Amino acid sequence: MEEAVLNVPLEKEEYIINMGPQHPSTHGVLRLVVSLRGEMVLNVEPHIGYVHRGIEKMCESLTYSQIIHLTDRMDYLSAHINNEAVCLAVEKALGIEVSDRVKYIRTILSELTRIQSHQLFWATYGMDLGGLTCFFYGLRDRELVMDIFEETCGGRMIVSYNCPGGLMNDIHPNFQKRTKDFIKYFRKTLPEYDRLLTGNVIFQERVKGLGTINRDDAIAWGLTGPVGRASGFSCDIRKHNPYSAYNKVTFKEILYDEGDSFHRYKVRMDEMWESMNIIEQLIDNIPEGPYAEKMKPVIKLPEGEYWQSVETARGELGVFIVSDGNKNPVRVKFRSPNFVNLAPLNILAKGFKIADLVAINGSLDLVIPDIDR
């Protein structure tokens, strides 16, 4: 701790505070060493690794079916999408084509995951800015999605519903009805979010024009997901490189040019509407078919390198697997969106107030276990 503080070049009248690893607004165990002059942020240095569990190294001694259960623990708010990424990579390597039923169900669950992740973002972003009521509104609605997951997948947050070749089991008979009820309910409730926070004068004053990054810089920093799209970088994997059933649905990729905190927020709010559209197109048309392909008890990938990227709620998650033909991979690398999105925090927050640092950090919507893995 001492040395990290000493490494920062000390200017005159500089005031250094440690935000984190235990701090209410870093959403986990991220530690920011912030140099201040008065309230002004001069430099932010993120220190990561407080929840490093060596997931990528652990993968090297596990089978492909087991790896899936580790991916839940990376970005725990996009658990289902992380599972899907590994399954898609393994299926691509083996040349298996899963049934349409599996594709539809995976897509619906991915979009539900996205909605609940954005709900939690909205809830905590309001809290970061001091509007504590948002937290309860957001969690109230997220609970309904969690109930859908619980019924069909067994788990609420850590779902582990995918397996190579399909799904663990078939959907619950209530699944379609519950999902439709939720969409009906949430279409009425989402405008409430806007009335409570988006339209608020104080909120708009706080976040508009805050932490702006332009399109070229966003591409240069590799920003993806809502953070990249708020800067006008069209980076939606669902659109550009469709997987599962995304090529069967029509939806809009939300793009803004401003690239500030408010539009990062706006992208997520609009994405919830789009996710509901996608679910509505699929939910009534889930085709019949097997919920999983017949797989060998021990999955061995042919020798080679495999890459699959998916769009999580936070951006592009890439899975890179190197196989030598055994049941364990030789090397697994996850390209996590949060790690990349954290990187420009310093240039975004420089020159703003300490309260703005919290707002900018919140608008990046980081999940720390995904950064540390």
Partner 1 sequence: MEFSIYDLTSFTQWIDSSLRASISPGWAVAIEMIIIGLAILIFFALVGLFLVYAERKVCALMQNRLGPNRVGPAGMFQTVADLVKLLFVELVPIKNADKKLFNLAPFIVIIASIMAIGALPFAKGLHAIDLNIGVFYLMAVSSMGVIGVLLAGWSSNNKYSLIGAMRSGAQIVSYELSVGLALVTMVVLAGTMQLSEIIEAQRWGWFIFTGHIPAVIAFVIYIVAGTAETNRGPFDLAEAESELTAGYHTEYSGIKFALFFLAEYINMFIVAAIAATVFLGGWMPLHVYGWDGFNKVMDLIPPFFWFLGKSFGVVFIMMWLKWTFPRLRIDQLLTLEWKFLLPINIFNLLLMALLVLIGWHW
Q: Which residues bind partner 1 (CB under 8 A)?
A: 15, 17, 23-25, 39, 126-133, 135-137, 140, 196-197, 200, 202-203, 205-206, 353-356, 358
Instruction: Please identify which residue in the block is written with the tokens 């954290």.
Output: 342
SS3 164: coil
Contact 123, 43 (CB under 8 A): no
- Residue 336, CB-side half-sphere exposure with 13 Å CA sphere: 25
Calpha distance 99→176 (Å, rounded): 18
Query: Is residue 331 within a helix (H) or strand (E), and if so which, with residue range?
Result: strand 331-335
If the CB atoms of residues 9 and 38 are measured against partner 1, the closer one turns out to be: 38
Nearer to partner 1, 72 or 365 (CB): 365
Q: Which is nearer to partner 1, 97 or 205 (CB)?
A: 205
Tokens at residue 267, please? 């992208």
Q: Minimal distance in Å, beta carbon 119 to partner 1? A: 14
Tell me the backbone φ, ψ of residue 221, rounded to 5 degrees: -80, -5
User: What is the distance between the alpha carbons of residues 85 and 71, in angstroms, rounded to a whole number?
Assistant: 9
Strands of 315-323's sheet in order across? 304-312, 315-323, 331-335
Residue (24 or 54) nearer to partner 1, CB: 24
Identity of the residue, 12 or 294, whose beta carbon is nearer to partner 1 in the bound complex: 12
Q: Which is nearer to partner 1, 90 or 123 (CB)?
A: 123
- To the nearest whole angstrom, how small is the minimum distance from the Cβ of residue 137 to partner 1? 7
Phi–psi pair at 306, nearest 5 degrees = -130, 140
Q: At what angle do helices 133-153 and 175-193 cross, to 10 degrees?
A: 170
**What is the residue whose two structure tokens read 């932010």?**
44
State the nearest-atom distance from the C-beta of 40 to partner 1, in Å.
Answer: 10
* Closest to 185 (Cα-Cα) out of 144, 146, 157: 144
Q: To which H or E segment does residue 347 belong?
A: helix 345-349
- Measured from the CB atom, the residue of 282 and 358 that comes closer to partner 1 is 358
What is the smallest separation between the CB atom of 130 and partner 1, expressed in angstroms?
3
State the minimum distance, in angstroms, from the CB of residue 111 to partner 1. 25
Smallest separation, CB 179 to partner 1 (Å): 23
- Minimum CB separation from partner 1 for residue 47, in Å? 17
